[in-house]
Structures are given as structure tokens and as C-alpha cells.
Chains A and B, each alone.
Chain A
Amino acid sequence: MIQFQYERASTAKAAVNALTNNANAKIIAGGTNLVDLMKRNVMAPTKLVDINALPLREIRQQDGKISIGAMALNSQVADDKLIIEKHPLLSQALNAGASAQIRNMASVGGNMMQRTRCHYFYDTALPCNKREPGSGCGAMEGMNRMHAVFGTSEKCIAVHPSDMCIALVALDATVLVTGPKGDRRIPFEELHRLPGNQPEKDNNLQKDELIISVEIPDNSFSKNSHYMKIRDRASYAFALVSVAAALNIEGKVIKEARLAMGGVAHKPWRLKEAEKALVGKPATEETFRQAAEIAMQGAKAYKHNAFKLKLGPNVIVEALKNAAGLV
């Protein structure tokens, strides 16, 4: 770990200023990922801007939406009555991530900003275009069992590790950020990006922008949603494949559907074509199987992750069955 300066920001503006004034400054919230990365010399910010004192922990109902402060803790959101009642999918996804201890430290904003857990990204003795652009992708021809099957590039096949973000992208959330030029709103689906030629960039935030909150519009999915995560052990492991499924069922017919996958891409992977295939159809296993097939179109496997092409659709079907109450 290198030596760094530490500053405690008392306002969002001060935090943004600190970022603007130092190209190597990083925000620290819960520190559950950044500190690990610093210990391993994967990231070496020369300044840490601590935003724990900012008043951004509130979860509140506004007109037609719920707003969650960027500093709300993962465990706080997961256990929040309003969230459990209106967006149980988000609560489930949060509880599927990390461990109780980490959820008690990790913030909502930090969860969005966490970096891939690709082995090659973490080991400075191995090549990684994300950590060191131009050094090559270690995973491409290496151990890629955990890696992406959608939206990969020749530079990077890493996946985004979050569970929370899979639920948020399914729930049409919007992220509020502030920066030197003022505030702006980013649809959740556009927050994270695919690796393309710049795998070092995880998302579309500007260097000196700060996440203030995330908003989830009211919806009709609370009765029929499910987050299913398949992993190598029962808890405290990253997803092989995860699926956030939300349905609005009237009678036996699906009126609306939301579907997203984790563990398969460099960003939370929304499945809009599959959603379209669900709408207007009866909520049956047959319908779900057809949607799952559509969802997997364009998937491309590498040496060790071909199983995701089979596991993926199975988990979509199982998540939808659970959402529809068929299990």
C-alpha cells in the first residue's frame, strides 16, 4: 500500500472539489472493496476523500418513486420496511451479496462503484487490461470460469460482481450524480459500460462526479418478483449466474416483465427482448423457457464458462417460476 492523503468531506461540493483538484483522488465510503485493492497495489490513489459524514443515508418515498441515499448501507436498505414492501427484489438481491459484516459497511453508491473480482485484475504479477491497459487480458486464454458470456471485447471478459445492481437495472432505477457542472441523472442501464477498447473504464461517471442517490419508480412487481443467485457455496461467493425477475401478472397473463442477469457481463445485463417475449403470455414454465432462449441469444462462451450457456437459461426459468409462484 502506498502512502496517501486523507480528507473528510463535509459537503458533496467539497468532495467534488477534492476530486477535481487531484486526478489521483478517490472517494471512500465503506471501503469494503477499495481498501482491498489498495492493499494489493491494484489501485493506488494518492488521496482518499471520505464521504461518510455526508447526509446521504436516507431512504424516502417521494412522488411515484423511492429515493435511496448513496450512503445508505447495504444492510440498511435490505432491512428497510419500505423497500421490503415495495421492492422486495432489491432486498433479496442485497441479502444475496457478500456477508453480513460487509453489508453493514458497504454503501449503495460504493456497491455500484465496486470493481470486478477477476483474478487477473487482482494480481499485479499477471496481465490485465483493466488494471494496466495494454498488458493483455489474462482471462481470455486463462482461467475464465467466472467470466462474461455477453458483451465481451478482445480486451476484457470480466464481469460486474454486484447483486444489488442486477435488481436496480431490472427495476428501471435512475442514478443521481453531482459534479463540477452540477447535477445529472443517469438511467441505471447506462451507468455501467461494456469493456470495448477501454476496459479500464467500468462506468460512465466522470472522474469528479459523485453519486448522491438512486431512485426507483413505483411499480406493480412487488407480489411477483424473485432474485436467484447460483454460486459455488451457499453464501459469501460471487454469482456464477444470477437473475432478477419481476412480473406483473393479471389473471394468469403477464402484463409487464423485468428481467436482468448477473455474472454474465461487464455490466448488469438487462434482458429486454426476453421481457417482450413474456408480455401478454400466460405465466407458465413453457413461456419462461421461450423467454430464456431469447435471453441467451448472442451469448459467447470461453474455455471454462460454457456451462453458463446452459445454467443461464435454467436460472432464468427458475427465477421466473419463483416470481410467478409456480414453485
Chain B
Amino acid sequence: MNEAFFDKKEYKPLDRVDGRLKVTGAAKYSAEYPLPNMAFAVLVGSRIAKGTIKSIDSKAAERAPGVLAVISHLNAIKVPGYQPKGEHPSEPSTNGQPLRVFFDNKIVSNDQPIVAVVATSLEKAQYGASLVKIQYIKEQHKTDLEANAGDAKLAAAAKKNPKSPTADYDRGQKDAFESAPVKFEAEYVLPTEVHNPMELQSIIAHWEADNKLTVYDKVQGTKMTQKNFAKEWDIPEENVKCIATFVGGAFGNGLHNWPHETAAIIAAKQVKRPVKLVLTREQMFTMVGYRPRTWQKIQVGATRDGKLVAINHQSIGQTSSYEEFTESTLMQTRMMYASPSVSTRYRILPLNVATPIWMRGPGEATGAFALESAMDEVAHAIGMDPIDFRLANYTESDPDKNMPWSTKYMRECYEEGKKRIGWKNRKLKPGEVRDGEWLVGYGMGTGTFGANRGPATVHAELDKEGNLVMHCAITDIGPGTGTAMVQIASNTTGISTDKITFHLGSSEFPNAGLQGGSSTVNSVGPAVLAACNALKEQLITMAAAKGNSAFTSAKPDDLMFNKSELQLGGKSAKTTLADLFKQNNLEKIETTNESKPDENRNKYSMNAFSMHFAMVHVHPFTGQVRVKKIVCCADAGTIVSPKTAESQMIGGATGGIGMALTEDAVMDHRFGRYVTKDLGDYHVPVHADVPDIDVYFVNKPDLLADPVGSKGLGEIAIIGVAPAIANAVFNATGKRVRELPITPDKLI
């Protein structure tokens, strides 16, 4: 392990490399490519949740000024990938058959896209869409999770494979809970939440030739999109180009290719023009996934002195009638605490709703609400400080996988977090601390997420002026991927950050996976490292070949740039890059390097950990909750970009405030239709809801996980925030709210 490397060079806060482009409007998002002859499509959604389309009267729309086409299952061109039983391309795959837009007359969820009106301007398309008359044959729908909980089932993957993460899990003694000295049991409900990034989902589909497709598409994976549409249209992968240079937030809803994308591609084919399609805010609730409403029940058995005896945790999450969406809601229950007996039961409930998709923190954030609330409740029941209770059940190795942790620095998080939030001011008994009329409470919650890593490839080019240019297909949905990669490259080579460019967000660039699951720095970072070292390798070989003896036994780690000069082992190598290139008659050197997970993954359990602390004020008579301070502690390995990493934690905590206090996509089940479906009614936190957020990084490398030492950050930034706030509200008031969000009506 090369720890010395990181001791030598510290990562310093750096402004976003694309910050200026973003704040000046120069950054181009998917809907912002002005292609010649562009047409505009507007989607019409169904007004029932289940049934069939009886008729579509599109005459008036077709006659409306500027309307080029009204497309539905009645007249849509055949999509080669719509084989009745064929696997519709969707990756990462949810089990089932993703919705085939304009395929048949079946309605499977409310606001399902059933007609596209294409016109010469957006306004004309909108007007045309308002003229389409659709008649339905209605069938009885089911959209209510609690009312239909009896129909919940094991996921197909779990049926096939008992080792699947969604399969039933039992460790230790079967009836351990029943005989535990302290028994606690409760149910928790998380409502449907919607990603609602600032940027609406948008696509420009452009058939550059009959079998050549370019999409400017708001997605989290350019290669995924390329592959999916190549399959869908039965054309070679190299004939599909996906551009997603900038993505204005996504939080997971770009991890799947959705029907509106195919609708735009169909429309472009049919009107023989590039077609732009931007969803409305309302359609963001029904067409691009959401965090599924989830019911959970947890049983915790413990001894009176605070040792866990058993945890039984079950959950039911909703999915659509056509795809089995699953997430890791119960995984952390298996490994977070040293409970000798653990059982988990994960179930999904197909309903007449659209398919959910991972939303930041995904299932772990849902599961953590139940687990971390329950831990707080048990600590209260036995009269123990909730941190002491957790420390009494600390896992020194992963009790689920039976493997040592690659690294785990949660003790540091407990200590630092306690100090920063002022935990000493917390009283064990709720309702004891006041500030004027307001009740004051302190709470905390922990989170964990796999230190995921996948293969990634980076192409790097170094010219004689010392400019380093890299390319990779990875997207950046906002965390500052370009900035982080520039910092890794600068740290590896010594080249100053302003001479390094990292191009991303195109399927034309070398392979990378999705930006999701906190895997980007862990996967692409090592490829940047590998490419930089390969360039150094080439320079060493070049220098040695020209008789520079100092270089003959040099290794990449020895070589660094100091402005134009090259250094070996911290000393001048008495040569410059320009000299080397001149001697070899070169303008530039280049390399393409792949980096992949290694065998350490079979020997160690690799997780990032977070711990969130909240201090809240609750008004005893009006039920208002004001979060006064949040402290986020993260054991995420090496922090390669301290500034954007801190921003990411702040964003995660803000999302957690929404989860705890405000966000709720409310459905009227009589119609199977959402009633809170704009940013006025669906409450994401506003500035006034967000206090000072204090971020602490342990910042110790995990070089078993990957050569950069990073464990990932995006998900743990939100996992555990909601229970921290719920626990603080309990500490303030003595009222335990087990169904989020904690709105004023629940506290009076």
C-alpha cells in the first residue's frame, strides 16, 4: 500500500472547474442545443390509472397550426426493440418489461404517456396537445400500499436465488427476539418522494441518418443510454451517440431510460426532424421514477444493559405492475450493529403506478429511518444515551459477510459529531431543554453504503506545454466530477489544476458506468490515476532511452512536474517536458487506461459510513420544527475534492431535511393520481428550512477499496439524516413520529 503518497500530497479545496460556465449560463444542458429544423414534442398522459384506450380523437390537434404529427399506439412506427416477450433494454435492469410507449392501448398507471403532439414550436405543440380527446375503458385500479399490503411478494430475483440481497435472511437464533429481556416493536412509513432536480428531464433526439441516432439526453449514464437505444432500434452501438455534458441534478432519476426518451426518438423518426421533448414538472412525478412509498416493521430485542439480542426487520415497497423495482432497504440492518440474531424480510407490492427508481441514498435511506429511529427508541426505553447504546453494539467486522472491514472509522465520527453539535447539552429525558417557548432536542442517526467500484477507462493526452487533457464517458449530475478528477490528476502528476481538463458526459469517450451508487470517484478516479502513471511511465522510458541515467530505475511515483521542470524523488531531474518531447520529436503523448476492482473485494467488506447530528427547536403549540444545526460526519476514505465534497454533504443534509419534515407526494387513491405535484405543493426545503450545516470528514484513505482511497459520498450524505431529525424531535417533545414527513399537525 502506498500510504506515503497521500501523506505527501494533500488535497486542497478547489473551485469547481466548470463553476464559471454554470453560473454564467454558458454550460449547455440537454434541451439547450439549437439544432436546425428542430421540432417540439409534448406528451399527453392518461387520466385513468388502469384500463384501455377506447379512442383517440386527434383531428382538431392535427389541424391546429404548426402541428406536424399526433403520435400514439395507433400510428407510431414499429420500434424493433418492442418484441412482445423480448427483454426491453434497461440497465441496470429492473426485472420485468419497462413501459413500451405507444405500443398498445393498455393503461397501466395514471399520467402514462399515451400521445405525443409534435409541432414547429413548443407553444403550438402544447396547444395541439390540449385538443386531443381520449376515451377510456376504465378498470378497477390498485394504488394504495397499505390497503393492498396483503398482496406483497418476494422479488423474482430472490425466488431464483436465495443469496440475492432481497431474499429472506436469518442469522443466529430464530426466536431470539421473543425471549429478549427488552422487546421493542414499531412500524414506520416513508411516503413517496420525488427526485425533483432543478432541471426537468429533457431530450433532443436527432436521427442523423436512417440508422444513426444522436441524443442530447439528461441521463446518468451515457454508455447505458447508447447501449439501450442501440438495442431498442436494432442498430450498431457505434451508431448511437449520447451527449450529457451537463446534468442539472438528477438524484437517481437518470439511472433508467424512460418512455419519454423513446417517445422523442419515435417522433424524430416520424417527422424526420430533430425533436426536443422537455417534461413538465407534473410529469416529473409520473414519468421518471420516484422513491417508493415503503412500510416497515422492526422488532429489536436487547438486554437491559444495552446489548442487542435480535433485530427483525421487514419492509414492503411499492413497484409498478410491469417492472420489479427493488432496493437495499434492509441491508444495513444485517451489518450495522453487532446483533447475534438478525432476520430481514423484503417484499415488493406491484400497484397500478409507474416504476420507482433509486433516489439518493436509495433503500438504505429508507431503511435507516426505521433502524436508526428504532435504535433511538430502544435506547430511550432502557434509559441509555443513544450513542452509548450504538457503541455498545459496534461491529468490528462485518457480521453479515463475515469479513473484516477494509476500513471503518465511525468512532472518530461519534466523538467529533458529539463535540460539534453540543451533545453534552442533550438531556436523556425528552422535553427538558427549552429556548424561550421552543422545545430543544438533539438527535443522531447513522448511515452506510457500499464503497462501490466498477471498471472505468480514461484517455489522457499530454502536450509539450504540459497541458493534460482527459476524456471519460462518465456523467456529472452535480457533485463536481470534473473537479475531483482534475484534482486527482494534479495530485498524481504535480501539473497545476488550471492546465488539466477533464471532458466527460459523452458516449464517444472511453467507458465508464453510471454516475450512481456513490461509485464515481472510486471507479473513475483510479482510471485517472492509472492514466497519469502511464504517462509518467512513458516519460521515464523516453528519458532513459535518451541516456538520462537518473531515469533508468525511476518509477512513476518518483516523477513529478514542477511547472515546466521534471523532478525525480523531489529533486530536479535537470530536464523539462519540452526538452524530452523535442528530443523524441513529439507533440504529445497519450494513453488509454482501464482500472477495475481487484480481489480485495472478496476479502474485505467495503463500506462508507456517515453520522448525522441534528439540533432542533419545536414549538409546543404550533408544531413547527426548526432545524437549528446539522453536523454531518463522514468516513468516506480520501476526500479528493474537499470543497465539492462538503457541498455534496450539505446537499445530502438538505435532502434529509426534506425527507424528515416536508416532502410528500400525496396520491388520491380514488383516482390513482397525485395531488401534490408541483414545487408549490410538493415541499422541498427552502433556504429558510436549512440551517448551518457543519461537515466533518475523517479523511483517511481506504487503499484496499481502490488506489485513490475513496469510499464514495453521494449516498451517505443523506442516509441517516431523517432519523437524526426525527430523533431530535422526540428528544425535544417526547413525541415519536413514525410516518414521515413530520409536519406541524403531527406534533400538536
Contacts and interface: CB of A to CB of B under 8 A. Distances in A.
A binds B: yes
Interface of A: 1-3, 41, 99, 117, 119-120, 123, 125-126, 138, 141-143, 145, 228, 230-238, 240, 307, 310-311, 314-315, 317-318, 327
B689 A2 contact: no
A153 B562 CA distance: 79
A142 B668 contact: yes
B407 to A, nearest CB: 38
10 smallest beta-carbon distances between A and B, as pairs = A234-B688, A307-B745, A119-B675, A125-B47, A235-B688, A314-B621, A234-B689, A233-B683, A233-B662, A142-B668
A143 B676 CA distance: 10
A232 B662 contact: yes
A142 B675 contact: yes
Interface stretch (B346-354, B412-420, B622-630): B622-630
Given A143-B668, A311-B623, 16 more contacts: A1-B130, A2-B130, A123-B673, A123-B675, A126-B671, A126-B673, A138-B668, A142-B675, A143-B666, A233-B689, A234-B626, A235-B686, A236-B686, A237-B683, A240-B744, A314-B622
A310 B130 contact: no
Contact of A327 (B123, B436, B670): B436
Interface in B41-68: 47
Contact of A141 (B623, B670, B745): B670
Interface in B693-748: 741, 743-745, 748
Nearest to B743: A232
Contacts of B741: 232
Contacts of B676: 119
B671 A125 contact: yes
Contacts of A317: 621
A243 to B, nearest CB: 10
Contacts of A311: 622-623, 744-745, 748
B668 A230 contact: no
A232 B683 contact: yes
B664 to A, nearest CB: 8
Contacts of A41: 130
A233 B686 contact: yes
Contacts of B123: 1
Contacts of A237: 680, 683
A237 B668 CA distance: 20
A236 B624 CA distance: 15
Interface in B128-151: 130
Given A125-B671, A142-B675, A230 B686 contact: no
Nearest to A310: B748
28 contacts: A1-B123, A1-B127, A2-B130, A99-B686, A119-B668, A119-B676, A119-B681, A123-B673, A123-B675, A125-B671, A125-B673, A126-B671, A126-B673, A126-B675, A143-B666, A143-B668, A143-B675, A230-B744, A232-B741, A232-B743, A232-B744, A233-B686, A233-B688, A233-B689, A234-B689, A314-B748, A315-B621, A317-B621
Contacts of B127: 1-3
B616 to A, nearest CB: 12
Interface of B: 47, 123, 126-127, 130, 436-437, 619, 621-624, 626, 661-662, 666, 668, 670-671, 673, 675-676, 680-681, 683, 685-689, 741, 743-745, 748
A230 B626 contact: no
Nearest to B658: A233
A241 B666 CA distance: 20
Contacts of A3: 127
Given A143-B675, A233-B686, A117 B670 contact: no
Contacts of B130: 1-2, 41
A228 B624 CA distance: 12
Given A126-B668, A126-B671, A327 B437 contact: yes
Contacts of B621: 314-315, 317-318
Contacts of B681: 117, 119
Task: Specify which of A1, A3, A232, A318 lies most central, judged by the most chain B CB atoms within 10 Å of its CB.
Answer: A232
A318 B621 CA distance: 8
A145 B666 CA distance: 11
A162 to B, nearest CB: 14
A228 B743 CA distance: 17
Nearest to A238: B680
A230 B666 contact: no
A41 B623 CA distance: 36
Nearest to B622: A230
A27 B687 CA distance: 33
A295 to B, nearest CB: 15
A314 B619 CA distance: 11
A2 B65 CA distance: 12
A125 B130 CA distance: 12
Contacts of A123: 673, 675
A19 B743 CA distance: 43
A2 B745 CA distance: 40
A163 B470 CA distance: 55
Nearest to B687: A235
A317 B621 CA distance: 9
Contacts of B662: 232-233
Contacts of B47: 125
Most chain-A Cβ atoms within 10 A of its Cβ — which of B622, B666, B676, B681?
Answer: B622
Contacts of B670: 141-142
A125 B670 CA distance: 12
B109 to A, nearest CB: 13
Given A1-B127, A143-B675, A117 B680 contact: yes
Contacts of B626: 234
A241 B637 CA distance: 47
A310 B743 CA distance: 14
Contacts of B624: 230
Contacts of A240: 744-745
B126 A230 contact: no
A233 B673 CA distance: 23
A233 B126 contact: no
Given A119-B681, A327-B437, A233 B748 contact: no
A145 B675 CA distance: 11
A112 to B, nearest CB: 19
Contacts of B744: 230-232, 240, 311
Contacts of B619: 318
